[in-house]
Amino acid sequence: MNDRAALELLAAHGPLTRTRLGELTGLSKPTASQLLTRLESVGLVRTTGNVTGRPGPNAQLYEIDPAAAHVVALAVDQEGITAAIADITGQVVGEHRMTAPATDASVTNRTGELVAEAVDGALAAAGLGRDDLHSTVIGTPGALDPRTGTLRYAPHLPGWQSRTLRDDLAAVLNTPIVIENDVNLAAIAEQHHGTAQDFDDFALVWADEGVGAAIVLHGTLLRGATGGAGEIGYMPLPGAPLARGGPDAAARPDGGGGFQKLVGSPAVVELAREHGIDAPTATKALAAALRAPGPGDEVLTELARRLATGLASVVAVVDPELVVLSGEVAQAGGERLRQLVEAEMTGLALPRPQLRISEIEGDPILIGALWTAVASARQTVFDTARFDA
């Protein structure tokens, strides 16, 4: 228990002296010294310079040895796979992006090969090999059904539908594999690094190419019986066609209807075009709208109305303390869009949660996957009892 407490403190605070570690753990100086010697001998802690500039002998600093374990996180989307390697401290040491459009028939039966290629590219950037990996976390649209092992709610990723997907990938990479919903991972990033750090009950609403939500209650993700909690993109709303499924809808990320037909990136591009703003992406369309009084105001007001209508349904059921808006649409609309959504929500739902725009820098899905992978690795690596077995 003392070993783990010391390792967690070093992970949280960075380099510490023996004296400071003793103060934080409540251990005596001799006990703290013995602990650090033991952790150093098994390769979990290393010395990293001295504290200078104060009276008395220079104090030795100790830190987690970054090489104690490495993990890989992957973010999968319709256009390809991004892989990132991090050491046990959470520092990213290598990254690689591989283009592999899901619409390309040649990639359908090559999922394991494509994942391995992305991981190997990141490993090469880090100067590491597959034997250095401890665990893998993969973020994908949709969710892995715990009862069947299949990826649900992601028909636009045909190569990821195998019942043996997790086992196949584990065999390729030779690590434990966690496959997690991408929006859930974005919420984990917010929970530990973003605007939701001080909240136990919050909802993250992701408006991008697709639309989804992650619900965190009492600090824990709500997953649902089939992993589909938060699939609000399919939610029926006034003004949107119903997502009824069928052979034509099954191959489309929006399922043919629902909330995402109103606020997803393609819908934003179309809305802007209806008001005379022609732009190829939602980001550019909203940037233009923010600069265009009149037509731009109309675009932002209508988008805010649509978002508020969907959010009101989520808030009425879950009653979160905070709602975080994330994804391309939210980031592009920024504070102006947030204010308009907040105003539109007045009267739509009795609970009035705080409403914030995500402030995560970088890819929140990848950041959430890295945090999950590092936390999992620490659970095993920091268990020093295994060295005594």
Cα of 310 vs its chain's centroid, Å: 22
Q: Is residue 191 part of a domain?
A: no
What is the reported pLDDT for 149?
A: 80
d(C-alpha 237, C-alpha 239), whole Å = 6
Query: When comparing pLDDT for 225 and 356, which is higher?
Result: 356
The reply to whether 190 falls in a domain is no
**Average pLDDT score over residue span 145-154:** 82
* Model confidence at 249: pLDDT above 50: no
Task: Tell me the mean pLDDT in the region 229-250.
Answer: 78
Radius of gyration of the chain (CA): 23
Mark whether 123 and 60 lie in a shared domain: no
pLDDT beyond 60 at 69: yes
Range from 50-64, 253-267, 313-327 carrying the lowest mean pLDDT: 50-64
Rounded average pLDDT over 72-99:
95
- 279 and 250 within one domain: yes
Assess whether pLDDT exceeds 80 at residue 116. Answer: yes
CATH number of the domain residue 139 falls in: 3.30.420.40
What are the pLDDT digits (tens) for 363-372?
999 999 999 9
Are residues 123 and 238 part of one domain? no
For the stretch 284-318, pLDDT in tens is 999 999 999 999 999 999 999 999 999 999 999 99
Average pLDDT over residues 337-345: 96
pLDDT at residue 247 above 50?
Answer: no
What total number of domains does the chain contain? 3
* Residue 270 confidence (pLDDT) above 60: yes
Are 253 and 351 within one domain? yes
Is residue 87 located within the same domain as residue 224? no
The answer to whether residues 201 and 307 belong to one domain is: yes
Helix-helix angle 282-290:328-344, to 10 degrees: 50
pLDDT tens profile 173-193: 999 999 999 999 999 999 999
143 located within any domain: yes
Least confident of 117-126, 254-263, 357-366: 254-263
**Token pair 């019942």: residue:** 163
Residues 166, 249: one domain?
no
Task: Verify that 221 and 293 share a domain, yes or no.
Answer: yes
pLDDT given at position 201: 97
Q: What is the pLDDT of residue 252?
A: 54
What's the predicted TM-score (pTM) here? 0.90
Choose between 286 and 248: higher pLDDT.
Answer: 286
Residues 37 and 92 in one domain: no
In-domain check, residue 172 = yes
Same domain, residue pair 79 and 25: no
The rounded distance, in Å, linking the Cα atoms of 262 and 147 is 32
pLDDT, tens only, 198-207: 999 999 999 9
Q: What is the mean pLDDT of residues 10-24?
A: 89
What pLDDT sits at residue 243?
78
* Measured distance CA(184)–CA(198) in Å, rounded: 17
- Strands 202-207 and 211-217, how do they pair? antiparallel
Does 185 or 152 have the greater pLDDT score? 185
Work out the number of other CB atoms within 10 angstroms of the CB of residue 371.
Answer: 21
The rounded distance, in Å, linking the Cα atoms of 33 and 216 is: 40
Q: Do the domain assignments include residue 345? A: yes
User: Could you tell me which residue, 293 or 105, shows the higher pLDDT?
Assistant: 293
- Please, which pLDDT band fits residue 250 given cuts at 50, 70 and 90? very low
Q: Can you give the residue range of the structural domain that contains 164?
A: 70-184+364-384
Domain end, chosen from 33, 49, 65, is at: 65
Cβ(118)–Cβ(110) under 8 Å?
A: no
Same domain, 165 and 152: yes
Q: What percent of the chain has pLDDT over 90?
A: 65
- The greatest distance separating any two alpha carbons of the chain, rounded to the nearest whole angstrom, comes to 76
> Mean pLDDT for the chain?
90
The answer to whether residue 389 is domain-embedded is no
Q: Of the residues 37, 65, 93, which one is the last residue of a structural domain? A: 65
pLDDT in tens, 80-91: 999 999 999 999
CATH number of the domain encompassing residue 54: 1.10.10.10
Torsion angle, alpha carbons of 353, 319, 373, 92, to 10: -10
49 and 76 assigned to the same domain:
no
pLDDT above 90 for 248: no
